[in-house]
Structures are given as structure tokens and as C-alpha cells.
Amino acid sequence: MLDYFPGKLQELYPDEILQHPLRKEIIATLLSNMITNNIGIGFGYRIREETGASIENIAKAYVVCVEIFELNKTWHALEQLDNVVQEHCRYDCFQAISGLLERSISWLLRNKSADFDVSHLIELYQSEIRILREVIPKVIIGQSRKNYIAARKLFAKYKVPAALAQELADKTTLASAFDIIEIKSKLDSSTENTAKLFYALSERLQLHWIRGAISETIVRTHWNHLAIVNLRNDLHVNQRNLTEMVLHSIENKRHTTKALNLWEEQQAEALERYDHMVNELNALQTIDFAAMSVAVSEVRRLVSLTQQAGFDGN
């Protein structure tokens, strides 16, 4: 609110500014401009269509995510690169952050009650996000690690300062942060062990490939877009549920490899069917929405079978 007014007025009349009769309208305008500048002009409309959330809650979720991921600092650092790195390079850096922001805002709007408190969520998640940012580079494997290393190399190639390049690469890994934190909190596991199993399951089931294929599905209509968004969200939910069930099955949460191995043994027949399906999809020249719907339904089937079996690795 204070930043909306000239510096001299901020110094002379801080109390009057905070009590301005149009403060709600001013704050709404500021947030609208920030969302448009940092994510894109169509984001508000798009996220309303995808989640059914109100404009007020979209703005609140935006504030929460910007604070917990400390994005203002990152954006400021990127703005200082104007005339230092090529504009398309800077654009790619901003886009990397926008992807994290969009996914995180969507998660909050889908998973938190409509009357969520901004301050409470910032307090709840900010310290956990800082821990997770340190942990994830240590536990990601397979394609997730390759993507992380590729992002770090790309930012370095763009001549982004080393510390900022590292920060950007780290933040590209945080798209599933809320899911990992929710599982960790529910099962009283450590952040590292939860993240380790989360990414191990993703690699075992080639979920990174499925997510990528969903994103590349051709969108021809508004309804195509909503169907793809819901399919992607369904995949996220099933990955979270499966991770929670497998981690819950073992008493010592440090033994994530043991938990995964026991689950694979129990679901050997279903996994053989699943692997065959993924290999067939990989061989297709063109992957459409129907194919990806089958893939996600098979992930959902694994979750259902695991739940029905009452998987217990103790």
C-alpha cells in the first residue's frame, strides 16, 4: 500500500496512507497489475475457469506464493539483468518462475478452503519451502535430475550470475512442494525422506514423461484446455496419494527404498501391465488426449489396487 505513493508522501503521511478511504481499491489495482506483469494478462480468467475460485482468492493465493517462494527478491534480481543478458534469455528466466507460480496458485485454490488466511499459510509453508529447496537437489533422480541440471546449465549459458542461476534452477524443482509438505506433515515424516520417495515413485512410473506428454497435447478448444488441466491435476493427486500410501506402509520412514521395493513386489502384476502400457504409448508417433487419459487412468488404477490391498510393509 505504501509503495503506491511517492516516497516523500510515505515519509510524511504513513498513517494517513494506510487509512486511505480507497485503500481496498488501490490494493486491488496493485495486485491486478502485479499478477498481469508477473504471470500474464490472461492468467486471472484462466485460473478462474480452471478452479472456480473468486478473484479475491486468486489474489490471496498469489500473495501467499510470492511470499513463501520469496519471488520478489528473484524478480528484482532478474530485473537488474536488463541490458546485461539478452532479452530472450531474461524472458526464459521469468517464465521458469511463472510456471512455479501458476502451479502453486492452482494447488492452493484446489486444496485450501475458500476462506483461507494469508498470514497463516505463509507462516505454515515458508520455513518448509526453505528446507525443501535445500533437500530436493539431493534426492531427485532420473529425468527429474536431468531436467534440474539442464536448467542450471541453461541459466549459466545465458550468463546469469552463478548464485541467481542456482536459485532459479532450485526453484524449478519446487512445483510439487505443497504435495510433499502435505504428505510429510500428515505422516510425521522428514522432508527429505518424503521427497525421496515422491521422486522415486515418479521415476519408477515415468510420471515426468506422462506430465510432459499431457502438456504437449494439442489444445483446439476451451473445453480441450479444461480437460487437459483436469487430467494433469488428476495425475498430481494420484501421485500424492500413492506416495502417502507407500510411505505410510512402513514404520521407519527412513527406509523409503524398502517401502518402494515391497510395494513393487506386491503390485508386480499390475506394474507389468502398467509398464507395457507406457512403452506402447512411448512408441506412438502422435499422442492425443485419449492416450493420456488411459495413462492417467492406469496410475489411478495402481492407487486403487494399493489401497484395496491394504499395503503394509512393516
Q: How far is CA 219 from CA 213, 215, 222, 226, in A?
A: 12, 9, 8, 9
Query: What number is the average pLDDT over the span 83-92?
Result: 87
Record the cell numbers describing residue 260, joined without a space. Answer: 518402494
List, as one string, the DSSP characters of 17-40.
HHT-TTHHHHHHHHHHHHHHHHT-
- Check residue 25 and give its pLDDT: 55
Which range in 53-57, 83-87, 201-205 is most confidently predicted, on average pLDDT? 201-205
Residue 313 has pLDDT above 50, yes or no: no
Query: What number is the average pLDDT over the span 185-204?
Result: 95
**Does residue 15 or residue 53 have the better pLDDT?**
53
List, as one string, the DSSP characters of 121-159.
HHHHHHHHHHHHHHHHHHH--HHHHHHHHHHHHHHHHTT
- Check residue 2 and give its pLDDT: 47
Query: What number is the average pLDDT over the span 77-87?
Result: 87
Query: What number is the average pLDDT over the span 208-215?
Result: 93
Residue 161 has pLDDT above 60, yes or no: yes
Q: What is the dihedral of CA 148, 152, 157, 158, to 10 degrees?
A: 110
Lowest-confidence range among 102-106, 170-174, 246-250?
246-250
- Check residue 185 and give its pLDDT: 94
Amino acid (1-letter code) at residue 213: A
pLDDT digits (tens, 9 = 90+) for 8-48: 455 554 565 556 554 555 556 666 676 777 777 788 889 99
pLDDT-based confidence at residue 82 (cuts at 50, 70, 90): confident
- Check residue 247 and give its pLDDT: 93
Lowest-confidence range among 6-15, 213-222, 228-237?
6-15
Q: Do residues 289 and 224 make contact, with C-beta atoms less than 8 angstroms apart?
A: yes
- Check residue 179 and give its pLDDT: 97
Domain-by-domain residue ranges, the chain?
205-314
- Check residue 235 and give its pLDDT: 97
- Check residue 255 and give its pLDDT: 82
- Check residue 15 and give its pLDDT: 62
Residue 105 has pLDDT above 70, yes or no: yes
**Does residue 117 or residue 7 have the better pLDDT?**
117
pLDDT digits (tens, 9 = 90+) for 278-294: 999 999 888 899 999 99
| Mean pLDDT (the chain, rounded) | 87
DSSP letter (8 states) at residue 15 = H
228-232 LR contacts (CB < 8 Å, sep 24+): 228/289, 229/50, 231/289, 231/292, 231/293, 231/296
**Does residue 13 or residue 151 have the better pLDDT?**
151
Query: What number is the average pLDDT over the span 76-104?
Result: 90
Q: What is the dihedral of CA 270, 276, 277, 279, to 10 degrees?
A: 140
- Check residue 286 and give its pLDDT: 86
- Check residue 38 and give its pLDDT: 72
Residue 5 has pLDDT above 50, yes or no: no
**Residues of 175-214 as b/e, b for ≥16 C-beta within 10 angstroms?**
bbbbbbbbbbeeeebebbbbbbbbbbbbebbbbbebbebb
- Check residue 4 and give its pLDDT: 45
How far, in Å, CA of 294 to CA of 309, rounded? 22
Greatest Cα-to-Cα distance within the chain, rounded to the nearest angstrom? 73
Amino acid (1-letter code) at residue 98: S
